[in-house]
Structure 1
Amino acid sequence: MVDLKQALVARALEEGFVSAGVCRPWDVPEVPARLDAFLEAGYHGQMSWMEDRAAWRGNPAALWPEARSVIMLAESYAPKHDPLKALEYPDLGSVSVYAQGRDYHDVVKKRLKRLARWLIEQEPCEVKVFVDTAPVPEKALGQAAGLGWQGKHTNLLSRDWGNWAFIGSVFTTLELPVDPPEVDHCGNCTACQDICPTQAFPEPYRLDARRCISYLTIEHKGPVDEDLRAQMGNRIYGCDDCLAVCPWNKFAVAASDIRYHGSAGTAPLEELAALDDASFRARFSGSPVKRIGRDRFVRNVLYAIGNSGMASLIPTAQMLLEDADPAVADAARWAVMRLA
């Protein structure tokens, strides 16, 4: 199996992944306790699916008991620009780097399926592929497989490719040679903690999603607490601050797929606020942004308008004061009040 493992890694790199490693499904014994502490603290907010599937998320071996190896893969989506620059233009909406192009679920999953088919051709086996679509603790498994380590911002990062990467997995019934787990290399650095606009990290390596701008703009339904709105700036879908400042990104590997670099990075808030459901769906077809729907998106845009300091945008917000969605109407009132 050693030769097969070497060929597998080589094939993964040919497919466009920047790193590949192998661990066992049971190589993350620390996950259940960490997940329980996260849930008990209420840090998951409205993400009830995390609690509903905690048994599987805490124990990958229970997800598919027949699996004997987990092939973990990282695919770079490193930006060609500094994403923090977008925050300097208050009249534009800032979209997280990972969502500026094609939906990564589609792109990565196709690569995983091709790799899995290749593996079956080499050695008959059963496989299952996952990319953020099942209760799999990808980051913990990624560290166990030697891809990188979970940094103080809780994301996976590597000395070889920084932290701009999507993580996918191939579970298989094959017994493949495993890789040594990666160790922590964050040292005394606290850059990711210090830059967080909403202080979403109660301590290093712990994230309170209820205060995280990525959670607030994507997962949180209804109005956002007013004390947090003012800290969101012009971020209308996700937040890259803690990722962008990581020093290990000096080793970031360029994204292999140009589809990750789309046109959704920044756009005039005035233009985005005018989107109805049909125009929103058309504009973000094939983009991760589409999943939050028009109402939540326009709510975020109105928070950005309220934070812009630009009185010229008051008429734009006023047009949505009677919007059918209560959260949008509330955001419009807040934006007008802030600007006036």
Structure 2
Amino acid sequence: MDYEIFDLGDVTLQSGVTLPKAFLAYKTYGKLNEKKDNVIIYPTAFGDQHVQNEWLIGNGMALDPQKYFIIVPNLLGNGLSSSPSNTPPPFDRAKFPQVTIYDNVKLQHRLVTEKFGIHKIALVVGWSMGGVQAFQWGASYPDMVERIAPFCGGAKTWPQTYIVLDGMKASLMASVGFDSNKISQLTSTDMRAIARVYAGWGLSQTFYREELYRVLGYDSLESFVAGVWEKSFMKMDPHNVLAMLWTGQNADLSANSTYNGDFDAALRGIQALTCIMPGSTDLFCTADDNEYEANLIPNADFQPIESIWGHFAGRGINSADNQFIDDNLRRLLALHIDR
């Protein structure tokens, strides 16, 4: 096992439901310095685990483990942290409680403060739903977080993004005739439909038109969809996926007692130096939505990733996009904090 477990005990979620013996799976890179101020939090995205974040961590890179103590907490529902697939009855599988982004960040805060005694975070960075968590960190703990860098992820799930995620959910529920009483019958084979729905959203029209899947070693559109999308989704537990979809659909950094649903106020409440990097051709976490958010955050820099890789401009696949993200993180980390 290449990760550690932080036991949270019985946790009362935003929904009011208590999840017994909850836990966070996490991995750290580098060493915590004496001042405990070299900390970077790098949450995982929908469907990802910590290993999928490692492309952005390395010696000589912005996220340099020789310089920083990098903590990658796994999202609840991803199969490593508390999830439908690893929680005993009565909260297993379809009975797993609804978990919000706010819940995730609150529990990550416990990990950071209780396990490591950290009270200052140099940067929270993340892709997609990891980016949503970065925004939430900035809004929930403005005095603690010095910088945030969300890429290809919004501060809330805007309506069109919600519909995309709903289409993914519907494709899975169709396998059991939309009968919620039959959810327990879902298997990984049923994930094939979700894979094909998401294939049209994850990458841009231009990517497909220019047949860039050939760069990845696939000689046809069909082999690419089967070899990348189906293969990756069919490795996931369908109950974990439904749990993460609910988390994603209900993401909103203002949906808590601090901001009471005032989204604009929550954005203005972020004090961190902020670099927002949308994919210029992202079809469902759009640059327009991010620009709205950037205009309300006091210290925000809006830096679109000019790329035809769509949402996956932030996935660590295309070298030019990777370099752009790394360069912006390097520049952000070099900025002096006057507070």
TM-score by length of 2: 0.26
Q: Which has the higher contact order (CA 8 A, sep 6+)?
A: 1
| Structure possessing the higher radius of gyration over alpha carbons | 1
